[in-house]
């Protein structure tokens, strides 16, 4: 039976760095993400919010050579903007992906202070309470 392990599946807790780290690890994660598949949560209106306020719809994605890891839509964002917070063990798992690295797009990186992924409406909703 396949064992699904979490990999960068949780929102980060500390502040994001100003600039994303785009190196071999981020590029491998991007490749794994693009090869992955969404398992559930499609159409869900529940949001997962990162410490930097970037929010994504809650959903689980299976990635890895044998889809052995589950992750969230924040995985590329986390490895690029929250590198300090990711354990060496998790970085090692990403390093071991047998994929050719691919450059992440802006929508995949989810820059903390802009873009549709910052979901300004979500903050407005919070403020109107
Ligand atoms: Zn973040």
Average pLDDT over the chain, rounded to whole? 85
**CA 79 to ligand 1 centroid distance, Å:** 9
pLDDT by residue (tens digit) across 8-24?
A: 988 899 989 989 999 99
The mean pLDDT value for 74-99 works out to 96
Its pTM stands at 0.83
> Which residues, chain by chain, have CB under 5 Å from ion ligand 1?
16, 50, 52, 54
pLDDT by residue (tens digit) across 23-82?
A: 999 999 999 999 998 876 555 678 889 999 898 888 889 999 999 999 999 999 999 999
**CA 11 to ligand 1 centroid distance, Å:** 7
**CA 1 to ligand 1 centroid distance, Å:** 33
**CA 14 to ligand 1 centroid distance, Å:** 8
**CA 77 to ligand 1 centroid distance, Å:** 6
Within a 13 Å sphere around the CA of 36, how many CA atoms are in the beta-carbon half? 27
**CA 70 to ligand 1 centroid distance, Å:** 18
**CA 121 to ligand 1 centroid distance, Å:** 17
The three-state DSSP-derived secondary structure of 16-58 is CCCCCCCCHHHHHHHHHHHHCEEEECCCCCCEEECCCCCEEEC
């Amino acid at each position: 039976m396949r064992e699904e392990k979490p990999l960068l599946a949780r929102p980060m807790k500390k502040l994001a760095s100003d600039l994303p780290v785009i190196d071999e690890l981020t590029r491998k994660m991007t490749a794994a993400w693009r090869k992955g598949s969404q398992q559930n949560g499609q159409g869900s209106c529940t949001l997962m919010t990162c410490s930097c306020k970037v929010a994504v719809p809650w959903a689980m994605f299976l990635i890895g050579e044998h889809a052995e890891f589950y992750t969230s839509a924040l995985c590329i964002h986390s490895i690029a903007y929250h590198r300090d917070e990711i354990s060496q063990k998790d970085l090692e798992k990403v390093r071991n992906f047998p994929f050719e690295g691919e450059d992440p797009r802006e929508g995949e990186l989810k820059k903390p202070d802009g873009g549709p992924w910052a979901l300004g409406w979500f903050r407005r909703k919070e403020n109107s309470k």
